Chain A
Amino acid sequence: MILDTGTVDADVELRADVCVIGSGAGGAVAAAELAEAGYSVVLVEDGPYLHGEDFVQREEVMYPRLYREGGTRATADYTVLVSQGRAVGGSTVVSFCLCVRPPRPLLGYWSRHLGLAGLEHEAMHPFFRRVEKRIGAQRILPEQVNGNSAKLRQGSEKLGYRGYIPLHNRVDCLLTGFCALGCTYDRKGDMLTTYVPAASRAGAVIVPDCEITQVRTDKGRVTGAVGVFRRSRTGTEHALTVTARVVVLAAGAINSPRIWRQSRLPDQADAVGRNLRLQPQVVVTALYPEPVESWKGIPQGYVVDEFLTMGGRSAGSGYLLVPAFAHPVAAASMLPGYGDEHRELMGLYPRLGAIAVLLHDHTRGRLELEEAGPPAVSYRLGGSDEDRLLDALAKAADISFAAGAEKVFLPYNQMVTITKRGAYQPIRDRGVRVNDPLFLSYQPQGTLRMGRDRRKAVVDPNGEAHAVRGLFVADASVFPTSVAVPAQVTVMALATRTAQHIVDHADRYF
């Protein structure tokens, strides 16, 4: 049952076996799995319940409605724009549907070197399979690769770089390309069309527009959560209290630590809000002689993983290259240049293509958590990451030229144009400085990290808090390192595993 909370006119108290906070890739999965196992579940989401034609395919309408802090969340120095969905279904509603499992050696490293037994590929495989089946992950067809993705494929194949057509969680896609604004036609296998309705069918109560402010505990055990309804049409503010023996915190790698801190939960390892990885992205734009119409079709239909280096004794390093593009408002705000040169570039919109660099970062940022208000996100790219990033810009430019680009535009404020393959010195000359280039992050992670040792980690390898019985974390906060790839299926698989752990050890909790 999904509730319309707009008419709430009194404080509300609910009682359930499990309270899940957040309805994105982690929370919706945990809620559905637990409800289907027979437990009563309350799933609380601070964003609205939107679907179908609520997604009007207009940037100016959907960005403020669908993105956290109206889309304005950024690191403290504004170098990285941190973009997260805020709606029933979380960031999966605005995702590009890429389903990429973490590299097998990375899971091996987590398992063998970070003490996370059970997270190795062989053990995780059934969870990934289960998730991929439920969200309809399948390899997109070659004819579904859009113009921009085809350019990435063409250029990288010409240069001999390894790449592939990835799995996507979409069904009968109409190729309209408005994925980042929510799918009007429900063709995504996002949480909104899969796990959230499954949870509801299994009896879960879904509470949108309600912000959880505190997790409650008593003598080292979780007892529930308290929140406030945010969109009351009655003009009054009312509280929600959920009494539950298990709480699953899945509000994302920025909000979950915030709730943790606001709740004054223990932080024995001094790790809450630390170890932040952002997997920052930058975008290199190319001008092709013919129209590419990059905004149409499936936005990310090809992945180049040639430059992701994985070793068994480290978390690896490098970056993925994926296609990226935007509708006009986003394009105009991101494209470099000033005045006439900017307008001229916008006039070439149909001939532009773009490649995003997704950095497997080693930089560790942190959240400055306060009692009230959103946390400040501190993150400044470290030296080795900066070097890799500059290398990646040159590689993306190279691939673009190999695909036939006439010019390449670097992601700085000023118009920095490369007109000749190999002439990449401007990249080294400019380097990286505050807010120039602007980085994007869709995958914050690591801020409530998982580990066996309670002196170093916040949650154990099953996702349960070391210091609070019955409190679980099921979002990207638990990753011990950057996961190197788009995070959604990893979050879903880990949430499935956490739910199974709760079910398998029910006598401890219920």
Chain B
Amino acid sequence: MDDRTTLEALRLDLTRRRLLQTGFGGVLLLAFGAVLPSGCARYSPVERSLRFLTRKEFAVVTQAGVRILGLPDSARESLGGSIDGLLVDLPPTSQSQARLMLRVVEHGTILFDLKPRRFTRLTPVEQDAYLRGWMESTLGARRVIFRALKALAALGYYAQTASFAEIGYDGPWIGRIEATGRVAHEVPVDLATVLAARRAS
């Protein structure tokens, strides 16, 4: 493990070209994702106000997240809120690809498991079987999406201070130790001021 690896957590940059390079599976997923519905009519309202996720996306990412990380269902609300806050700050391209990924996961039941029901309508046991299918798939593109989903869930859950105690992590040291910076960092000079002075002279 390595800290920097997690950036995979934000690894939602599933560009068209990259998906295609994961082989036939990528082509299939891309074509599939393009024709999927995106409406939210059948999804339960969410308690919190969402900044990025739709109700549908909230349902998909939180249900998948708790299954993948083995969390109780009660963790869904905070998990979803955390992920929503993270996604809202991503660049637009990454955001649209995150949406595509969640749509593909929601409706992939038809394509990969031949089930007439979408992911969020499956029982927890069925959801586990379905998600494990992504994790263990022979199609590279499906494994990529599983990893992205897992990383997103990890970021949503294990970044929460409330989760630290349950894994024995003691958290940031800021505020816990008396220490200051060793270096007096230079204060940046305002460029506009520099330019104005230059113009004046």
Residues of A within 8 A of B (CB): 1-5, 7-10, 12, 49, 51-53, 56-60, 63-64, 67, 69-72, 74, 76-78, 81, 83, 94, 171-172, 174, 176, 178-181, 184-187, 192-193, 197, 200, 207-208, 281, 283, 285, 291, 295, 324-335, 338-344, 346-347, 349-350, 352, 354, 356, 376, 378, 413-414, 433-436, 438, 440, 442
Contacts and interface: CB of A to CB of B under 8 A. Distances in A.
A94 B2 CA distance: 12
A413 B155 contact: no
Interface in B151-190: 151, 154-155, 157-159, 163-164, 166-169, 172-174, 177, 179-183, 185-190
30 contacts: A1-B186, A3-B194, A60-B159, A63-B6, A63-B10, A72-B7, A77-B18, A77-B22, A78-B144, A78-B147, A181-B3, A185-B182, A193-B182, A193-B183, A197-B183, A324-B1, A324-B2, A327-B169, A328-B169, A329-B9, A334-B5, A338-B70, A338-B131, A346-B69, A346-B158, A347-B167, A434-B143, A435-B147, A440-B2, A442-B4
B99 interface: no
Contacts of B23: 77, 434
Given A3-B188, A5-B191, A413-B147, A343 B70 contact: yes
Given A72-B13, A185-B181, A334-B2, 17 more contacts: A1-B186, A3-B189, A7-B193, A8-B191, A58-B172, A71-B4, A74-B13, A76-B21, A81-B5, A174-B177, A327-B3, A330-B4, A333-B6, A333-B147, A342-B69, A434-B22, A435-B144
A347 B89 CA distance: 30
Contact of B71 (A291, A331, A343, A349): A343
Interface in B41-62: none
Nearest to B168: A350
B21 A60 contact: no
B118 interface: no
Given A72-B10, A329-B159, A435 B143 contact: yes
B168 A349 contact: yes
B122 interface: no
B176 to A, nearest CB: 9
Interface in B102-156: 128, 131-132, 135-136, 140, 143-144, 146-147, 150-151, 154-155
B67 interface: yes
Contacts of B192: 7-9
A76 B155 contact: no
Nearest to B187: A2
A442 B3 CA distance: 12
Contacts of B164: 328
Find the residue from A10, A332, A433, A440 having the highest chain B CB count within 10 A. A332
A340 B154 CA distance: 14
A49 B189 CA distance: 12
B3 A326 contact: yes
Contacts of B151: 333
Contacts of B191: 3-5, 7-8, 12, 207
B190 A4 contact: yes
B8 interface: yes
Contacts of A333: 5-6, 8-9, 147, 150-151, 154-155
B12 interface: yes
Interface in B66-86: 67-71, 86
B10 A70 contact: yes
Given A180-B3, A342-B68, A414-B136, A187 B188 contact: no
A330 B182 contact: no
Nearest to A148: B1
B91 interface: yes
Contacts of A69: 13
Nearest to A196: B186
A332 B169 CA distance: 12
Contacts of B67: 339
B89 A51 contact: no
Contacts of B91: 70
B185 A52 contact: yes
A438 B128 CA distance: 22
A46 B5 CA distance: 22
Contacts of B3: 59, 179-181, 325-327, 330
Contacts of B188: 2-4, 49, 208
Nearest to B6: A330
A349 B167 contact: yes
Contact of A178 (B128, B131, B163, B172): B172
Contacts of A326: 1-3, 5-6
B4 A281 contact: no
A338 B143 contact: no
B166 A334 contact: no
A327 B198 CA distance: 47
A219 B161 CA distance: 59
B69 A332 contact: yes
Contact of B158 (A49, A56, A76, A329): A329
In the complex, the 7 A-B pairs of residues with the closest C-beta atoms, listed nearest first: A71-B7, A330-B6, A343-B70, A434-B140, A180-B3, A57-B172, A332-B154
A342 B189 contact: no
A324 B21 CA distance: 30
Nearest to B151: A333
Nearest to B86: A60
A338 B1 contact: no
B75 to A, nearest CB: 10
